[in-house]
Amino acid sequence: MYDDYYDVAVTTTAPASLPEQKLMLQKLLEERFGLVVHRNTYPSPVYFLVRGHEVKLTPVQEAPAPADFKLLSRSSGRLDAVISMGELADWLYPLLQLPVVDKTGLTGLFDIQIAPNLLGGAEQTILSIQNSLGLNLERHQGTAESLVIEQSTRPQAN
């Protein structure tokens, strides 16, 4: 499972939103790789992303073109993007190693820049979010979800 790598290149006739792209990728993996999965939920500690006393977010009226979207890798520890609060919560999950649930109540897109000190573990990440965005991360008991791969096969050559 760890020895095979595949390049997947997809083009569409029209621009697709991120949820549409995820659905297309899921269908492609089901068709080409015979991927069969199910989801499990279980009790787990989670972080709630909530508003702090002084929220420092810049709303954006329109999403940028895909070429304008800039998300620097987690390895650099920096985030510079136009993003929703739900997408921010998703981005924080691997950094905090626990699920992050958006409880801000903020809708729409925001221009976000987070300082590069996110590599200092969960405590540094939480401080960066507080200092850069004025948002807090509170630890609660909640529900986590895992994706279980039941089956996959090697695809046929093109």
- Count CB neighbours of 32 within 10 A: 16
Cα R_g (the chain), whole angstroms: 18
Q: CA–CA separation, 21 vs 87, rounded Å?
A: 14
Helices (H), the chain: 18-33, 85-96, 122-133
What pLDDT shows up at residue 2?
A: 72
Q: Is residue 3 part of a domain?
A: no
Q: What per-residue confidence (pLDDT) applies to 1? A: 58
The string of pLDDT tens digits covering residues 13-22 is 888 877 788 8
pLDDT of residue 50: 97
Residues 6+ apart with CB under 8 A from 19: none
30: which residues sit within 8 A by CB, 6+ positions away? 36
pLDDT given at position 67:
42
Give the whole-angstrom CA distance, residue 49 versus residue 143.
Answer: 15
- Domain membership of residue 121 (yes or no) is yes
This prediction's pTM: 0.69
Q: In terms of residue numbers, what domain contains 101? A: 38-151
* Rounded mean pLDDT, 50-57: 93
Domain assignment present for 85: yes
Please write the tens of the pLDDT for every residue from 101-156: 999 999 988 988 886 565 567 888 888 899 889 999 999 999 888 889 999 888 87
By the 8 A CB rule, do 63 and 109 touch?
yes
Q: Do residues 49 and 139 make contact, with C-beta atoms less than 8 angstroms apart?
A: no
pLDDT in tens, 66-99: 544 444 444 455 677 788 899 899 888 888 889 9
**Is residue 15 a part of any domain in this protein?**
no
19: in domain: no
| 20 within a domain of the structure (yes/no) | no
Q: How many domains are there within the chain?
A: 1
